[in-house]
A = this chain, B = another copy of it.
């Protein structure tokens, strides 16, 4: 393998491997036609040339191209990532926040869109197609705008208004569908099959996982080249969790860390297909999902299999939180840290509150905040009240 071809694809289901460019989406051997309501089989993961990395990677002059599926020269002119990572004493002695809501379009999904658009630059494809609950779509629309690519996006019509406004303003072709995320997913696959374009559906395109991996790599870098002990991650499709796992897996395989952090999967109570799978060992689709945390509302998570393996392999576990707990957590997180996280992202903190006694106080915990609260300002209005306006006279004011 040389630097421009420093990885192979390996099927996460059957283990078959493929050279770069001999495969694009799922494993040709074991994947099946997409049926709404089923997770994907044959998701591909990238196995890097870890011997080469061991040889070439220097911690004092790190070359992250060695961990990248696409060469830097194809990167969009649109900086993503480099989001704050910091310790927050108000939450706990050794609790850190990675605030990925501060990506340009307001969510971690910018990372995946960035890498898929980079891949489209390499392949010279000018149209990118995706289905999304909202954040992946705004992310794709933003990166495509900066890169002069056409974005074609299928979303359930129930997506929060702010996300719709965003993606339309970025200039994407947006098709709201009367149906679920699964319906949008199917339609987007049919679109690329019938009309061409590169499909960016999460997990379906393996580089979505690699893009999200950069959140994990950044935690490692910002944590002074150490892995934390525990990472809480909100889970819908399971791709962010798989991406963070992949970062630490690659680092371990490259001899840069010894132990994976425990990955804690946090799901909403009524959108908990992966949680149920982790706990029971048997995968079962949910008939429907319903949670205030729209970004993790998924009945048939596309990356269920890989996400479960990641949690088990890292010695992590899985928790569910109710919508009430999510909204309380959103408020408390804002109150204690100054971070306004969207409900799905606040679920991370809700999970932490529920299970913090499981850890020693000296273990380093990271809460991954995946999206900005400004994405959906209606959600918190059930737990706060905007005060009545007063006539501006100091006599009407008491001391606070």
Contacts and interface: CB of A to CB of B under 8 A. Distances in A.
Interface of A: 77-79, 82, 84, 86-90, 99, 102-106, 127, 141-146, 148, 150, 152, 154, 157, 161-162, 164-166, 168-171, 173-179, 183-184, 186-187, 190-191, 194-195, 330-331, 334-340, 372-375, 377, 380-381, 384-394, 397, 399-400
A369 B106 CA distance: 15
A341 B94 CA distance: 35
Nearest to A154: B392
Contacts of A374: 106, 162, 166, 372, 374-375
A372 B400 CA distance: 30
3 tightest Cβ-Cβ pairs between the two chains A and B: A142-B338, A374-B374, A157-B389
A394 B168 CA distance: 21
Given A105-B338, A191-B394, 14 more contacts: A90-B148, A145-B337, A146-B338, A161-B377, A161-B386, A165-B380, A165-B384, A166-B373, A169-B335, A170-B334, A170-B340, A176-B389, A177-B389, A187-B392
A87 B78 CA distance: 9
A146 B90 contact: yes
Given A104-B84, A164-B386, A165-B384, A190 B99 contact: no
Contact of A169 (B143, B179, B375, B384): B384
B89 A334 contact: no
B340 A392 contact: no
B335 A187 contact: no
Nearest to A337: B146
B102 A102 contact: yes
Q: What is the count of identical protomers in the complex?
A: 2
Contacts of A77: 86-89
Given A169-B373, A340-B170, A178 B142 contact: no
Contacts of A381: 165
Contacts of A184: 392
A166 to B, nearest CB: 6
Contacts of A169: 330-331, 334-335, 340, 373, 380, 384
Most chain B CB neighbours (cut-off 10 Å) among A175, A178, A184, A186: A175
A77 B145 CA distance: 35
A352 B386 CA distance: 37
Contact of A387 (B103, B127, B176, B335): B176
Contacts of A387: 168, 174-176
Contacts of A143: 338
Nearest to A335: B171
A337 B183 CA distance: 30
A157 to B, nearest CB: 4
A184 B391 CA distance: 10
A338 B145 contact: yes
Contact of A338 (B170, B187, B195): B170
Most chain B CB neighbours (cut-off 10 Å) among A143, A388, A399: A399
Nearest to A400: B173
16 contacts: A78-B337, A79-B86, A142-B334, A142-B340, A146-B336, A168-B385, A169-B380, A169-B384, A170-B338, A176-B389, A177-B392, A178-B391, A187-B393, A187-B394, A187-B397, A374-B375
